[in-house]
Amino acid sequence: MTTIQKAVSAIALFTLLTACSTVQPGAGGSWSGYTQTGQASYYADKFQNRKTASGALYKSELHTAAHRKLPFGSRVKVTNTANGKSVVVKVNDRGPFVSGRIIDLSKSAFSSIARTSLGVIDVRIEVLR
């Protein structure tokens, strides 16, 4: 392998590893206190009992969520900014992959802070300890 091929391989590996990384934690290496605002949606019924990215099965009755970057197992307080209602969920999946949406909630988590007929709501999320 030539020096140029080695350099290209190293750059490709670095790029791949960087693309697979998650959002960086806050000060002190902890996610605690990390906040984000945007929109939340909820899982369609067709996802019931399907595997999530973490390997767990999606159960609509559990308070779980999908986030693009937070580590699996993160506990997140999700607050509906329109009515102030909050729910705590556990991240066990990746997504949503729709512009403006920051979190996908299980159906029961969403329904505890808003009517499911709304489909999408504005939220503020905060990572708990």
Token duo for residue 55:
């390997």
Angle value at C-alpha 66, between 110 and 107, nearest 5 degrees: 25
Q: Which domains does the chain show, CATH number per domain?
A: 3-127 (2.40.40.10)
Q: What is the pTM of this model?
A: 0.77
Report pLDDT for 21: 35
Low-confidence ranges of the chain (pLDDT < 70): 1-29
Report pLDDT for 9: 52
Report pLDDT for 27: 47
Report pLDDT for 14: 42
The DSSP result for 43-109, as a single string, is: --GGGTT-B-TTSPBP-TTS-EEE-SSSPTT-EEEEEETTT--EEEEEEEE----STTEEEEE-HHH
Report pLDDT for 15: 41
